[in-house]
Chains A and B, each alone.
Chain A
Amino acid sequence: MTTHKHVKTALAVALALVSISAASAQESTATYDTMAPSSGADTQPAARGSMQGMDHGSMQGMDQGSMQGMDHGSMQGMDQGSMQGMDHGSMQGMDHGAMQGMDQGSMQGMDHGSMQGMDQGSMQGMDQGSMQGMDQGSMQGMDHGSMQGMDHGSMQGMDHGSMQMQGGSAPPDARDPNAYSGGYQLGVGKYALSNTRQLMMADEHNFGSFLIDRLEWVRGPNSNAASYEAQAWYGSTYNKVVLKAEGDVKKGRLEEARTELLWGHAITTFWDTQLGIRNDVGSGRPARNWAAFGVQGLAPYWFNIQATAYVGNSGRTALRLSTEYELLLTQRLILQPRVEANLYGKNDPVLEIGSGLSSASVGLRLRYEFSRQFAPYIGVERYQTFGNTANMIRADGGRSGETRFVAGLRVWY
């Protein structure tokens, strides 16, 4: 799921990510289907709806109150379809047909329940101010133009049901796939070869992959390090063991490393939930262990998205969001914008991590695929710390952000 590529438009260079502006800490009991059908851009319901469209599962895990503050505009570029699926009312200005055709199902099918078990309170502790500092504007730049170009009027007469080409849920009168079996079982019984089914196809086979998405040398004012990010999986189409690893090596020492072991479970066409554990280590740093729950998948317009929430010891919570996009300049020359953000529920001074939006990076990598599986790249990345984190680093004499040049290799097997 991580390696899809497509062209959106030239606009897509203006990649943007999640702009999270936490708002009032008020308790909210609203869910998406109770939202007012308001199209007011600045009303909380609309804002909430749009965020749910992006990543329902993980967002539910967050404090709902804070989601109310989410910037509506900024999310529109993310996942129109799923937003449509969430809240028709607020999206009425948009094209129903197109929206229905998108990915309602992927979001609706998300496992709400499992996230609700998360610590909502700790999410409320997020730093509102720093989140607002995120780039709202960049998302708005995404897609407004093209959406406005859509034809509202002519679509309203459409039969929404028949236009829904992806996702959704089965209607009550949906056909039973076993209706034609006449009670017979696969490979056993009359005319069968034995008492157990003999024929197995690849749908019952396990597959595996090991992707090193980034294996790079990083050069910046403060950095001269090697960095890696990898993801391996093994399993069936719908259930996998997933191993994620990311870290930096400086002067031969592992500066910091995040390793996650997850159970990935396909829930919709393009989305998997992931449930498991995370371990952070680093030389001279105390280890941190977390329980992890997240989603990984492909949003409309081919954005690869990972969003994972973590709960650690001592009431620590964290949220990690990343997205990648693959812009095919040619069949083999690919420009990959990449955005990552890390948020924490409370200060962890030993690690110089502050609550709220702690760090984010925006990178642009240009790779050449000698083969699908072997692609060297060069790129540039802006890394920035925010809020308490930035304060702690500055107090320690460090810089709160830097621009880095990277050169590396993307390989998989």
Chain B
Amino acid sequence: MRSNRAMGVVLPNLPRRRFVQGLAAGGVIAGLGLGGMPARASQAQGTAFGTAPVLRGTEFDLVIAETPVNFTGKPGMATTINGMLPGPTLRWREGDTVTIRVTNRLPEPTSIHWHGIILPFQMDGVPGISFSGIAPGETFTYRFKVQQSGSYWYHSHSGFQEMTGLYGGIVIDPAGEDRVRADRDYTVLLSDWTDEDPMRVLTKLKIQGDYYNYNQPTVVDFFRDVSREGWTSAMNKRQMWNQMRMNPTDLADLSGATLTYLMNGVTPAGNWTGLFSPGQTVRLRFINGAGNTFYDVRVPGLKMKVVQVDGQDIEPVSVDEFRFGPGETCDVVVSPTDEAHTVFAQTMDRTGYARGTLAVRQGVQAPVPAVDKAEWLTMADMMGDMGGMSGMSGMSGMSGMSGMDHGGMAMAHSQHGAMPGNAANSLKVPSKKARHARTEYGPSTDMHVDMARTNLDDPGIGLRNNGRRVLVLQDMHTIGGPMDARSPQREVELHLTGNMERYAWSLDGVEFGKSTPVHFRYGERLRVILHNDTMMTHPMHMHGMWSELEAPDGTFLARRHTIPVQPAQRISFLVTADALGRWAWHCHLMLHMDAGMFREVIVA
């Protein structure tokens, strides 16, 4: 039980408060550290406290090293770029050829992956797939032509270095005029930090999957529900979860129990501040560079005009809030009305938040809202359309089941009849029938969803009916339409699978090490279907090629590099396989990726 005060969580003592809020002056201790050399770059626009410096030009030197940091009162070591966390923001121009020399001063191999950037696979920076990695003491030179514009980011693809600080923003100015106009332009990179060794974190989860979940159903909750709703309702609410050995509060693997949430490398107490002058508009380039955290972002009191997602301009849409997962980016334009506005990014599991301020001068602050109450996952999150058909808003076990009618089932049966088989002409619309792999019936999975939901109008757990206008996938319409007008020639269906009890994550029930690559024929246009057989949201990132999200009726929505797939959801996108080589494709939750929710793609 947790009451949500201003701090968001119950903070029993001062050290805990400091832990969640972080040190006000937390961050890199050694300043520029060893060998930081922003030599060829000019420090751009009046960067506010905590904002990484911007490096411009076509030649860049990045030095990766260990740097002491202190975010929580406990000193630790981070992996940094040019001594900074986040690393410098790289500002490129569309059409330029950029050269980036990356020097490794770590005692272990490293790498940098340019997330969302279209480039030759040898430059993609995934050790073991695109190159051999950068050995200690070595310098690797990346060189590629910049063929796109927008907000992106870069990060290590080696081990857990991304979780320990190796990330930074990329801003690419369009060759022509920028469609988006704003007086101020800030990169807002959200991330998370743990004082623990990430490998130890993974080990703990292997031993106890709910190790970091301190929001579990308790006896106190039960009797509260009994007194509010009655015995039967309280029992029903829990029945199926307990039968299935699934946890309705399994919203995030890591929580505020180990994470400190950062905005541009600054703790909530540190309060990253972006300055503006009254009357100015501000573009915020939000990047989710967290290892394991979905953020729900808003600027209370202001509408956010979403102008770009994953670096691609979309038809502007005005919202109060958006959710994004690790790997995704989202550009918004706001028009501040007061002297100060809080930029508030609470985590999906509601155990903390990253926070900063837009202000007319340093030191001005606005109220920080309370973290919302964590909700239980619903029937729809577990069962997809079947849960939805029951019309139950909550998880109501048996009564929910009995509430299902035969009509709903009949519909499902007719779907069964219609979809399979008649392949060629049905490819206009993504298939709906779940085709589970035979490897999904073993110990690697803990559930399958037979009738997934395809609704792209769902903001997801914790954001439904919260009184705010929340960005959803179906709001996203990339300007200019799809990059390739062809219809897909075939479908590739992959299921997102896992077993929370064993903390195993996979695709089709098969972890990376036991998998075979997914082959795309060079030049083909194909449809990928991701079907989520788990109760967590997975941001699925395909390297090297765009993922063109489509609606359930097959109409184009948005060009993405990272597609969030909600629990029990089935999402489809089209890919033009125009990038020869081997590529990575994985869940961007670091621990899921490392546990094996990862495939190699070969385009040949």
Contact = CB atoms under 8 A, between A and B. Distances in A.
A164 B451 CA distance: 11
Contacts of A238: 443-444
Interface stretch (B75-83, B170-178, B516-524): B516-524
A97 interface: yes
Contacts of A176: 437-438
B501 A186 contact: no
Contact of A174 (B239, B386, B399, B438): B438
A329 B602 CA distance: 51
B401 interface: yes
A95 B398 contact: yes
B515 A198 contact: no
Interface string A201-232: 11110011101000000000000000000000
Given A98-B239, A174-B436, A184-B517, A331 B446 contact: no
Given A97-B401, A191-B121, A268-B443, A8 B596 contact: no
A266 B502 contact: yes
A158 B402 CA distance: 10
Contacts of A315: none
Interface in B181-236: 202-204, 206-211, 214-223, 232, 234-235
A162 B412 contact: yes
A239 B409 CA distance: 40
A331 B223 CA distance: 15
Contacts of A198: 127-129, 132
Interface string A168-182: 111100111110111
A301 B397 CA distance: 13
Nearest to B494: A180
Task: Among A165, A192, A267, find the residue whose CB has the most chain B CB atoms closer than 10 A.
Answer: A165
Interface stretch (A18-26, A85-93, A143-151, A252-260): A143-151
Task: Among A166, A185, A238, find the residue whose CB has the most chain B CB atoms closer than 10 A.
Answer: A166
B511 interface: yes
Interface string A153-170: 011011101111111111
A105 B216 CA distance: 26
Contacts of B598: 201
Nearest to B491: A180
A244 interface: no
Interface string A69-87: 0000000000011000000
Contacts of A271: 443
Contacts of B1: 330-331
Interface stretch (B85-93, B148-156, B241-249, B285-293): B241-249
A382 B5 CA distance: 44
B446 A186 contact: no
Interface string B149-166: 000000000000000000
Given A170-B438, A270-B501, A331 B214 contact: yes
B245 A184 contact: no
B513 interface: yes
A177 B508 contact: yes
A118 interface: no
Interface residues of B, number: 103
Interface string B117-160: 00001000011110110000000000000000000000000000
B341 interface: no
Contacts of A154: 401-405
A97 B397 CA distance: 10
A269 B221 contact: no
A319 B186 CA distance: 67
A395 interface: no
Interface string A35-69: 00000000000000000000000000000000000
Contact of B245 (A180, A270, A327): A270
B519 A180 contact: yes
B211 to A, nearest CB: 5
A95 B401 contact: yes
Contacts of B482: none
A298 interface: yes
A101 B435 CA distance: 18
Contacts of A98: 239-240, 243, 397-398, 401
B208 A3 contact: yes
A102 B243 CA distance: 6
A190 interface: yes
B595 interface: yes
Contacts of B446: 166, 269-270
A237 interface: yes
B594 interface: yes
Given A81-B243, A157-B406, A193-B131, A180 B401 contact: no
Of the four ranges (under 10, 10 to 19, 20 to 34, 35 or more), the interface on chain A belongs to: 35 or more
Contacts of A267: 442-443
B132 A191 contact: no
B441 A167 contact: yes
A85 B233 CA distance: 27
A191 B128 CA distance: 11
A123 to B, nearest CB: 28
A412 B208 CA distance: 11
A328 interface: yes
A6 B223 CA distance: 14
A372 interface: yes
B515 to A, nearest CB: 6
Nearest to B528: A180
A7 interface: yes
A331 B515 contact: no
A109 B444 CA distance: 13
A174 B250 CA distance: 29
B555 interface: no
A1 interface: yes
B516 A201 contact: no
A300 interface: yes
B449 interface: yes
A3 B207 contact: yes
Nearest to A185: B516
A237 B511 CA distance: 11
B448 interface: yes
Contacts of B405: 154
B30 interface: no
B493 interface: yes
Interface string B370-401: 00000000000011001000000000011101
Interface string A364-391: 0000000010000000000000000000
Given A162-B451, A174-B436, A300-B242, A237 B504 contact: yes
Contact of B449 (A161, A165, A269): A165
A204 B582 CA distance: 21
B441 A331 contact: no
A178 B437 CA distance: 9
Contacts of A170: 436-441
A176 B412 CA distance: 24
Contact of B401 (A5, A151, A329): A151
A300 B243 contact: yes
A302 interface: yes
A371 B499 CA distance: 24
B516 A184 contact: yes
A170 B402 CA distance: 27
Given A98-B239, A170-B438, A201-B511, A165 B244 contact: yes
B316 to A, nearest CB: 37
Interface of A: 1, 3-10, 80-81, 95, 97-98, 101-103, 105, 109, 146, 149-151, 154-155, 157-159, 161-171, 174-178, 180-187, 190-193, 197-204, 207-209, 211, 237-238, 266-271, 298, 300-302, 327-332, 372, 412
10 contacts: A3-B207, A164-B448, A166-B446, A191-B581, A202-B596, A203-B513, A209-B206, A237-B503, A268-B443, A330-B220
Closest 8 CB pairs of A and B: A199-B128, A151-B402, A182-B519, A203-B596, A203-B511, A198-B128, A181-B516, A174-B438
Given A154-B401, A171-B436, A270-B245, 8 more contacts: A154-B405, A191-B602, A201-B512, A267-B443, A300-B243, A301-B242, A331-B214, A372-B208
